[in-house]
Amino acid sequence: MFREVSKLILYRQLGEDSILTNLTRIFKSFDSCHYRSEELITDIYREVKKLLDLGTTYGFDKNLWHNYLTFVLITNENSFSLTSEKVGANDGTVNHFAKNDFQVFMNLFHYDFSPIEETLGIDCFSTLLHYRAIGKKERMYNKNVSIKVQALSDQLAAAGNVDEFFDAVTGFYRDYGVGMFGLNKAFRIDTSGDRLSFVPINNLEKVVLSDLTGYEIQKKKLINNTEAFVNGRTANNCLLYGDAGTGKSTSIKAILNQYYDQGLRMIEIYKHQFKYLSAIISHVKNRNYRFVIYMDDLSFEEFEIEYKYLKAVIEGGMETKPDNVLIYATSNRRHLIRETWSDRSDMDDELHRSDTVQEKLSLVHRFGITINFSRPSQKEYYQIVINLARKYPQITLSDKELCARANQWELSHGGISGRTAQQFVNYLAGQIG
């Protein structure tokens, strides 16, 4: 194994504590015959546990060793994989070095573990090659990643030569990309360590725009702008504002689900992280994806100044925002920043009160598209309830009875809104069983 891994060129940076790196050291000791069996077995079991943990995290099955090697190939960001993401392989000398590395991985795919197992009296590697995962609920692991890795793993295991192996890997890069941005739809930002990092959001709501009853004009505006964006045309930052529970956040999640396969990714950030906006954009501007920076429930009080970071990034800073980044925000406030009567009063002590008003309005004016989501009418509310209830076979109430009970529910649960309708239907489905 050591001799194989030492031949890697493009995929050489595996990480000092990666499973493959550590196994390479272990097998080097085994080949040298200078080792203590107990220590070597302990080291092997430590890496096997890592493989099992990885398999549990992603729901891998059948051949954990193949799944792991595939995972390494599609998460390793190097000059070749990054160049190939979303476009596939191009003609060039670098393909020669890539095929060299893929030959190494092919050999690792079919590596014979029996000599070390027989010598040490262990069977862990043989067990990993015929692994049977315990069934888990979908929300317990990233099913989206699991399906992709296992499908490519089967394809690579069946490759008859390095050219077929090359085509399979580069085809994956073309279709999905590489690294965490290739595998995942959405991310949040972690600033707790020494540096900014992207944390994948594993379990997203499987919502689609058709789940949102009504608001056809609003959805059309959002679709048109997003389609222009993912197709490389000029698009605008979007602000979705209006009454609570009307589907603003749901619409943006649905947009991500609809356009993920076309290279759309989403990064969710919170108000206290706005000072990192420039760093976030710098990190993603050269990737071959379209990124929406998502800000939910955006609003500012008078004493909060974080909106100044946002203003500079959207429009006005020295550095131009890259073409592959847009900002989508939701808010219950039309103007985002809290205004008071004193802002517009002639009795205010400030000499240039119009400047204060313009300062507070300037942020919303930097969103090219603003979409209003207003509270539904009583009739629209009933229609939302009926449409949602039809998704649950156990709810057999007539439309008339549904509406009557929905009316009782909204009187004590925050009034008419799409969110109230969903909560009512959830309650009803839960009670019926």
Strands 238-242 and 325-331: parallel
Band of pLDDT at residue 271, cut at 50, 70 and 90: confident
Mean pLDDT of 43-53: 94
d(CA 302, CA 316): 21
pLDDT per residue over 238-248, tens digit each?
989 888 888 88
d(CA 378, CA 212): 16
Q: What b-and-e string marks burial along 410-420, b requiring 16 or more CB atoms within 10 Å of the CB?
A: beebeebbbbb
Q: Which CATH number applies to 209-373: 1.10.150.120, 3.40.50.300, 3.40.309.10, 3.40.190.10?
A: 3.40.50.300
More reliable by pLDDT, 421 or 298: 421
Band of pLDDT at residue 341, cut at 50, 70 and 90: very low
Q: Which of 27-31, 227-231, 312-316 has the lowest mean pLDDT?
A: 312-316
Band of pLDDT at residue 304, cut at 50, 70 and 90: low
CA angle 158, 161, 162 (to 5 degrees): 110
d(CA 44, CA 271): 45
Mean pLDDT of 18-45: 90
Band of pLDDT at residue 351, cut at 50, 70 and 90: very low
> Quick one: tokens of 22?
């550590």
- What pLDDT was estimated at residue 301? 65
pTM (two decimals): 0.79
The runs of H, that is alpha helices, within 322-417 are 353-365, 378-389, 399-411
Residue 132's nearest CA partner among 56, 46, 48 is 56
Helix (H, G, I), strand (E, B) or coil at 69: helix
Band of pLDDT at residue 175, cut at 50, 70 and 90: confident
In the numeric block, the tokens 């070597």 are attached to: 40
Domain range list for the chain: 2-182, 209-373, 378-432
- What pLDDT was estimated at residue 74? 93
Strands 369-373 and 325-331: unpaired
Q: Which amino acid is at 386?
A: I
pLDDT at 122 over 50: yes
pLDDT per residue over 373-401, tens digit each?
888 889 988 998 898 888 888 888 888 98
pLDDT per residue over 55-80, tens digit each?
888 888 889 999 999 999 999 999 89
Q: Which of 137-151, 265-279, 308-322, 396-410 has the lowest mean pLDDT?
A: 308-322
pLDDT per residue over 67-118, tens digit each?
999 999 999 999 899 989 878 888 888 999 999 999 999 999 999 999 999 9
Helix (H, G, I), strand (E, B) or coil at 370: strand
Q: How many CB atoms lie within 10 A of CB 279?
A: 13
pLDDT at 144 over 80: no
What does the mean pLDDT of the chain come to?
A: 85
> Quick one: tokens of 232?
């490389």
pLDDT at 424 over 70: yes
- What pLDDT was estimated at residue 337? 57
More reliable by pLDDT, 57 or 293: 293
Q: Which of 305-309, 348-352, 404-408, 419-423 has the lowest mean pLDDT?
A: 348-352
Residue 26's nearest CA partner among 35, 18, 15 is 35
The runs of H, that is alpha helices, within 110-215 are 114-120, 124-129, 143-157, 162-175, 179-183
Residues 327 and 236 sit within 8 Å (Cβ to Cβ)? no
Q: How many CB atoms lie within 10 A of CB 66?
A: 23
d(CA 268, CA 240): 15
- What pLDDT was estimated at residue 300? 66
- What pLDDT was estimated at residue 352? 44
More reliable by pLDDT, 139 or 20: 20
Mean pLDDT of 323-347: 68
d(CA 422, CA 426): 6
d(CA 430, CA 424): 10
